[in-house]
Homo-oligomer: A and B are copies of this chain.
Amino acid sequence: MREPPRSRAKGASLEERVSKEAQKGNQKAAKPVETAIKPTRAEDYAEWYQQVVRAADLAENSAVRGCMVIKPWGYALWERFQAELDAMFKATGHKNAYFPLFIPKSFLEKEAEHVDGFAKECAVVTHHRLIAGEGGGLIPDPKAKLEEPLIVRPTSETIIGASFAQWVRSYRDLPLLINQWANVVRWEMRTRLFLRTAEFLWQEGHTAHATREEAEIETRKMLEVYVKFATEYMAMPVHYGAKTKSERFPGAVETYSIEAMMQDKKALQAGTSHFLGQNFAKASGIRFQTKLETEEYAWTTSWGVSTRLVGALLMTHADDDGMIIPPRLAPAHVVVLPVLRGDETKAAVMDYVAQLKADLAKVRYHDRPIEVEVDARDIRGGEKNWDWIKKGVPLRVEVGPRDVESSAVMVSRRDRGPRDKTSMSREDFINGIVSMLDDMQNGLLQKALAYRAAASKTVTSREEFEAFFSGSDGGGFAFAHFSCDEKVENDLKERFKVTVRNIPEDVPSALVPGTCIFTGVPCDRQVLFAKSY
């Protein structure tokens, strides 16, 4: 969105907008408040998503099919995700490393299910030189054709497996706990910024263990890390559990996922952790000598989250005025908007702002100094204010000459209405900022939990299931006993676009035996059904 909503395009300040809306309110009580994002969620959810990405200046499509440009604000957000996740990976004993971008075709061929899963959508490098063609442009040089085509990594199990096979000799070399931050490419035909792009950024953990049990513990440990990150940092509640067979990672023995509900009631798979058994160890030759001097294949895992999480964050918290970033992931906790009304007060205001920024930097919020952006651009205050509403910074602080005189600040929270401003003393603001941010962080989580609860249902019959998912909205999350019959699963996918998201472990009411609502077969517990991204 290059232009702010019309009422502000004419340069209306926030105050002016408020009074205009108040007037309008008197005239026509039913007229809705104008929103910064058009269309609204209710009007056109998919388009609303694109417009929030644009209004918050997070990313844009590039000239290269399916590849996005992550703009500075979007990348700063991703850097926050990286910093927190990286610390959690290191705290659980993992070390970062880097492996080649290219995978020899023959590597991909080693694991049968894996190649089926990825060969259909990969970028293939066939030449290593361009030369002038007859028409004048450049063409791949026929003399520089590669003997073996290279695949741009869609995921790195096979290329990392080749290294692990070199590194592991004995049980003493295990466990091997590695993580990689990298770009990967999957040739998607239909792409959407952050949610599904041909190239995306992610982290992929790859570990090798001496026993099945250890590898299973690792798989679950990293699932827990993802649950913690989603809940405590993203303020995004998730259901976690194993996938059904048809939704497993190609080549995995078991895939666990975290699933979050977006504001269109669809599920988004936000992270996965795979127990790979010995499949990839056998494909790559990761063998080790045991304590008993026998030789065995290692047990491996892999786990990853990607820039998709930025889309998930947006669809969990953003509203019809734009992005809302939970404080623990905000690139800036506070934006200060100096009100500059003439040269005589400018210096005093800017000095006051600089001191405020310095004092806030001494306050720590979850082990991080309070980070402050100062927006001193020479544009109208209303436009500036709305830019930061749309970008989703937790707190906006206006400082004008009168605030300087009275040692005050005017504070707005992004989780409250755009008109909601509170004047408070500078000291109260500084002393209270941590609890204000925590309150906002917690409020966002509670709101998301309530949204999810309202759109979740335990379904006890086929009829109820069909009614739940046949409405005009997304339906929501349905918990039901299901025998995981693949034929039924395919049928539900075709007819309702509904899939089993996972077999949740965090929902007490789902952990009870019952009979499958489709086949009548007895089942240990319920699964989670939803439409999904």
Contacts and interface: CB of A to CB of B under 8 A. Distances in A.
Interface of A: 60, 62-64, 67-72, 74-76, 78-79, 95-109, 115, 119-131, 137-140, 149-152, 159, 162-163, 166, 178, 182-183, 185, 187, 199, 201
Copies of this chain: 2
Given A124-B128, A126-B126, A119 B138 contact: yes
A420 B75 CA distance: 47
Given A96-B75, A108-B138, A162-B62, A102 B123 contact: yes
30 contacts: A62-B159, A62-B162, A64-B103, A64-B150, A67-B100, A69-B97, A69-B163, A70-B99, A72-B96, A75-B97, A75-B98, A76-B95, A79-B96, A101-B185, A101-B199, A102-B199, A105-B137, A108-B130, A108-B138, A123-B125, A123-B127, A124-B127, A124-B129, A124-B140, A125-B125, A125-B152, A127-B149, A129-B187, A139-B149, A152-B152
Given A63-B107, A67-B101, A115-B138, 6 more contacts: A64-B102, A64-B159, A75-B98, A119-B131, A127-B149, A182-B183
Contacts of A121: 128-129
B124 A119 contact: no
A128 B188 CA distance: 10
A150 B75 CA distance: 24
Nearest to A72: B95
Contacts of A178: 72
The 8 A-B pairs with the shortest beta carbon distances in the complex, nearest first, are: A67-B100, A72-B95, A70-B98, A124-B127, A119-B130, A128-B187, A64-B100, A126-B126
Nearest to A158: B63
Contacts of A182: 183
B131 A122 contact: no
B126 A119 contact: no
A136 to B, nearest CB: 9
Contacts of A79: 96
A140 B129 contact: no
A157 to B, nearest CB: 14
B69 A98 contact: yes
Contact of A70 (B97, B109, B183): B97
Nearest to A185: B101
Contacts of A149: 127, 130, 139-140
Given A62-B159, A123-B125, A125-B125, A130 B105 contact: yes
Contacts of A68: 100
A215 B102 CA distance: 36
A101 B198 CA distance: 10
A129 to B, nearest CB: 6
A144 to B, nearest CB: 8
Given A120-B129, A125-B124, A109 B96 contact: no
Contact of A97 (B71, B122, B140): B71
A330 to B, nearest CB: 15
A149 B108 CA distance: 22
A302 to B, nearest CB: 17
Contacts of A70: 97-99
Nearest to A127: B124
Nearest to A150: B64
A351 B275 CA distance: 36
Nearest to A183: B101
A140 B126 contact: yes
Contacts of A126: 124-127, 140
A99 B187 contact: no
Contacts of A187: 128-129
A384 to B, nearest CB: 13
Nearest to A140: B124
A119 B129 contact: yes
A83 B159 CA distance: 27
Nearest to A99: B69
A104 B183 contact: no
A62 B99 CA distance: 8
Nearest to A166: B60
A199 B183 CA distance: 13
Contacts of A151: 130
Contacts of A100: 62, 64, 67-69, 199
Contacts of A127: 123-124, 126, 149
A98 B77 CA distance: 12
Instruction: Identify which of A70, A79, A182 gathers the most chain B CB atoms within 10 Å of its CB.
Output: A70
B201 A98 contact: yes
A125 B137 CA distance: 16
Contact of A63 (B122, B152, B159): B159
Nearest to A103: B64
A107 to B, nearest CB: 7
A89 to B, nearest CB: 12
A180 to B, nearest CB: 9
A457 B275 CA distance: 62
Contacts of A183: 101, 182-183
